[in-house]
Amino acid sequence: MLASAGDFVSPGTPIMVPEGVEVGDGLHEGKNGVIASFSGMLEINDGIINLISDRPQVNIPNIGDIFIGQVNRLNAKTAEIKILHIEDTDSGHRDVPALYQFADIYITELVDRFIPSAGDTMRIRDIIRAKIIGSDPILKASTKGDISLGVLHALCPACGLDLETSDKRPDFNVTCNRCDYTGYRVLSSDFGNGFTSINNDELNLLNRPGERWSPAADSMLGHDGARPYLSPMADFRRGSVHIKPEISRAKRDNFSNNRPQRTMHPTNCTLCGVKTDVPFVPTPGKPIRCRDCMSKVKDGKASKDELSKEREILMKARSKESEAAGIKLFVASLDYEVTEDELRTVFSPFGKLKDLHIASDRETGKSKGFAFVTFENVKEGKKAISELKNKELNGRKMSIQESRQDSSRNRKNRNRK
């Protein structure tokens, strides 16, 4: 049996479409006719038959929505708000999906005053009303632009009693009747009245928008970029006035004041020759380019001539560095009784030595039968290799070759990894 306008249908129900009526939302038109895509009521409006869903809409906050939330976390520059309820929407009674349960309020969107830290205007567990102003990549909210936006309910951080408004001291607009706590909140015009909107403009005046902070309040602001009571434990046990723990102070001071500064090293761009600074010690023979040349090479705009000239510069630098580093020789097949002085006597006639030592066993201290000899001059070291090759020392022929870091043994070890 075909369903018609006014009938309640379920998914897959065949639909009768009168002549001259077009198929609208919620209906699927296939080879076997028109069927319902979900449960709902059939309606015909302006010559179009639509399926009106009986299911409530997904409660997703959109830009411009006003919501009720709870302060979940206070960071140095943002307040993280958990969205509890979205006002003036048909789906406001439904829970907010997990991906849309939190919104951030940046310090410039809290109140029309200079705020060093988000914790200067609200505290953890405060109930607030805010407006969604952004959704990408995360939800962003604001308590500016409407006097009804701001803190609706707040507890005393010291004793837990409900806070009340006060105009006795400038910038201390909330107070606790049980203890001596006073503080500042960015107050909604509906503060203390639940969710009922009364738009009390006198409460908005207690926020003192556009005015400078009083000296007493200025001394309590988070001028260091963060608050000492950002931890919920600290917030609800100590209140706003307490000495920062020595450990916390030491950590913050070490991070901000004694943090080692990056050292810049002057050098020249290997592509264009312009002087530049880099945050590392330049390695001779390796390309070091300025920002413009880096972009030029990355985009493929560097010409062959420029790259060829750079290659010549790098090869000269490597050759010069190699000569300055000298040459290291590996001397094997040594008699175990040979001393370093005897080796020095053999190699010193060929040139000046930078270093000479015989490898020894860590436990016994005895020679392992090989040594390393470093010459300052590469030519002198190579001459020593050619003339001392297979020469006997204490009855044993020495095996001499240039020592290389990239030896076959090292290559095998790397391949195993």
The answer to whether domain 8-53 has CATH 3.30.1360.40 is no
143 token code pair: 């308590």
The topology (CATH level 3) of 326-404 is: Alpha-Beta Plaits (3.30.70)
In the chain, % helix, strand, coil (3-state, to 5) comes to 25, 30, 50
- Compute the distance between CA of residue 273 and CA of residue 213 in angstroms, rounded to an integer: 53
In the chain, domain spans? 8-53, 61-259, 265-323, 326-404
CATH fold match for the domains 8-53 and 61-259: yes
Which homologous superfamily does the CATH classification assign to the domain defined by 61-259? Nucleic acid-binding proteins (2.40.50.140)
Residue 406: strand, helix, or coil:
coil
CB 148 within 8 A of CB 107: no
- Compute the distance between CA of residue 272 and CA of residue 108 in angstroms, rounded to an integer: 44
Q: What is the pTM of this model?
A: 0.48
Reading the chain (417 residues) residue by residue, the pLDDT tens digits are 788 888 988 888 999 988 889 999 889 988 888 998 888 889 998 889 998 887 667 778 889 999 999 999 888 789 999 999 888 776 656 778 888 899 999 999 999 998 888 888 998 899 999 999 998 888 999 999 899 999 999 998 878 889 999 999 999 999 998 888 888 999 999 998 876 677 777 888 999 998 998 888 887 777 654 554 444 444 444 444 445 555 555 554 444 455 556 788 899 999 998 998 888 888 888 898 888 898 888 888 889 999 999 999 999 888 887 777 788 899 998 989 999 999 999 999 998 898 899 999 888 888 999 999 999 888 888 899 988 888 888 888 888 998 875 444 444 444 544
